[in-house]
Every structure is written in structure tokens, then in C-alpha cells.
């Protein structure tokens, strides 16, 4: 089992360069980020090379009130510009995935068709560079009106893309917190995703703190999901207190791997 640090949540008080180094020093196997576009990609690539960590993924721009434009009717040109920018940046830093943020469509008429068309565009761009496109169901308690809310909706979208002959490079992020907050069972959701599962993010539920407490049994869930998933488990949580002090959750996993 391999663990990644989400630098959109961890070491946010540091530059991306310093956060990458901090993650390496803490024992993480990889990093991921949200919107690194203000950072020089050559400098980011250099920092990754210095510590020997891969950058797993980044998001399309979601700085506006819509929280992404992937499923917003009438904003297709901007949405595809965001995809282009993300793909180009990912290629520059050696990142393997781009998460296309769907946005707060409130699932109005035409929003799912818009989403599928924009994902098809993203898939075509991705295959040019051997990238994977990711989508993520996000709880409505995080972003009210967000287009993609459940694993079931994600399955429906990907199956429709496959049926339309879209390059099969679109996969789903299984985020323990978001799935649990929408009332779904995490392990059951992973099983329903099957080969559509592309990435996993972990945090406690319900407080979204370190993955060592709360309602989710990480000691059972992580090994069970690992049986059918060989990717990373990305720590996307809000530290309950001091970040470094809270990293004790990671130590048993690293020790068990070394045993």
C-alpha cells in the first residue's frame, strides 16, 4: 500500500516546493495538488525530481463560484480551455492524471450532456499524452448543487462515455469522506466502481480529520480495497491540530509495509 499527500490540504502554509519536500520527509510515496497554476512548472518538476516523488494529479480550475465548469451549460469554451491548461501543466510536471471539476450545475437540463461532451474532449486530449481523466463524486454538504454527487452517477456517466466510444481513460476518485457523507458504504462503492476506480482519497468521517478515528474502519477498508486496486491512497484531510504531530496515523502503515 502506497500513500500520497494532498498538498491542497496539507502544508498549505508553505510554498509548493517546500510542501513537496515536507511530504517526502514525512514518508509519503507521492503527492497531489489542486491548482498549481501560479507556480512555475519547471520549478515544480525540479522539486519532485529532488525528492523522487511523483505528482499524481491536479484539478482543472475551480476558483470561481461554480467550483469548476465541466457540467455548466453555455460555458463549454471556458471549460475546454481549463482542460487544455491542466493537460499542458500536467505534462510539464510529469503528472499522470487531470481531475475535471464538474461544477455546481444543480443538474439543470442539459448539464449531464454538457458534462459528457466536455469529458469526451478531455479524454481525447488525455490520450495524446498518456494521461488519465478523473472525476469525483463530491458531497452536497461540501458544495451545494455540485453536479456529480454519488458513485452511482459517476458509474452512469462513465458507462455512457464508453457506449459512445469515447477513449476509455476516464476513471473515478473514491473519496472516503464524500462517499460516507452521501450515505453510501465505502467498500460497497469501491466494488460497484470495479474497473472504473482510478484513485482513492482518505480522511476520517465525520470530521474529515486524520484517517485514524471516526466512523470508518481504515484498518479494514484500506486492505480490502487494496485487493482490487494497486494505486495510491491519498491523504486529503484537515489536520485536527498540529500537522506533523498528527502524522502518527501514517507510521503503522509504513512499519507494516517494511515488516
Catalytic residue among 32, 66, 210, 236: 236
| Alpha-carbon gap, residue 194 to 41, rounded angstroms | 34
User: What's the chain's length in residues?
Assistant: 259
Residue 202's closest CA among 191, 187, 194, 87?
Answer: 187
> For 208, phi and psi rounded to 5 degrees?
60, 30
Q: How far apart are CA 175 and CA 167, in angstroms?
A: 24
Compute the distance between CA of residue 62 and CA of residue 59 in angstroms, rounded to an integer: 8
Examine the residue annotation and report whether 236 is marked as an active-site residue of this protein.
yes
Catalytic residue among 32, 66, 112, 136: 136
Query: Distance (Å, rounded) from C-alpha 5 to C-alpha 175?
Result: 14
d(CA 48, CA 37): 16
Residue 74 vs residues 20, 79, 106, 166, 237: alpha-carbon distances, Å: 37, 10, 14, 22, 34
Asked if 97 contacts 123 with a C-beta cutoff of 8 angstroms, the reply is no
C-alpha cell at 226: 487494496
**32 an active-site residue?**
no
The CA–CA distances, whole Å, from 147 to 69, 113, 164 equal 10, 12, 21
Contacts of 158 (CB under 8 A, 6+ apart): 135, 170, 171, 172, 196
Query: Which residues have a catalytic role annotated?
Result: 136, 236
Amino acid at each position: 500500500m502506497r500513500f500520497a499527500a494532498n498538498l491542497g490540504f496539507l502544508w498549505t502554509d508553505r510554498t509548493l516546493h517546500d510542501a513537496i519536500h515536507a511530504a517526502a520527509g514525512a514518508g509519503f510515496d507521492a503527492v497531489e495538488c489542486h491548482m498549481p497554476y501560479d507556480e512555475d512548472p519547471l520549478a515544480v518538476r525540479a522539486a519532485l525530481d529532488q525528492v523522487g516523488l511523483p505528482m499524481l494529479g491536479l484539478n482543472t480550475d475551480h476558483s470561481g463560484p461554480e467550483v469548476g465548469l465541466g457540467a455548466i451549460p453555455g460555458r463549454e469554451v471556458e471549460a475546454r480551455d481549463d482542460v487544455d491548461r491542466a493537460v499542458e501543466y500536467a505534462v510539464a510536471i510529469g503528472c499522470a492524471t487531470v481531475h475535471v471539476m464538474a461544477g455546481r450545475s444543480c443538474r439543470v437540463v442539459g448539464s449531464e450532456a454538457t458534462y459528457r461532451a466536455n469529458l469526451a474532449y478531455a479524454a481525447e486530449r488525455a490520450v495524446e499524452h498518456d494521461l488519465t481523466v478523473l472525476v469525483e463524486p463530491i458531497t452536497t454538504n461540501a458544495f451545494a448543487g455540485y453536479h456529480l454527487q454519488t458513485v452511482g452517477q459517476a458509474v452512469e456517466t462513465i458507462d455512457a462515455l464508453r457506449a459512445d466510444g469515447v477513449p476509455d481513460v476516464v476513471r473515478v476518485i473514491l473519496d472516503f469522506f464524500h462517499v460516507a457523507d452521501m450515505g453510501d458504504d465505502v467498500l460497497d462503492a469501491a466494488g460497484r466502481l470495479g474497473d472504473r476506480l482510478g484513485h482513492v482519497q482518505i480522511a476520517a468521517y465525520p470530521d474529515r480529520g486524520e484517517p485514524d478515528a471516526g466512523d470508518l474502519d481504515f484498518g479494514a477498508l484500506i486492505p480490502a480495497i487494496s485487493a482490487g486496486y494497486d494505486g495510491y491512497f491519498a491523504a486529503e484531510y484537515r489536520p485536527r491540530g498540529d500537522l506533523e504531530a498528527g502524522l502518527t496515523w501514517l507510521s503503522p502503515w509504513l512499519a507494516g509495509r517494511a515488516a
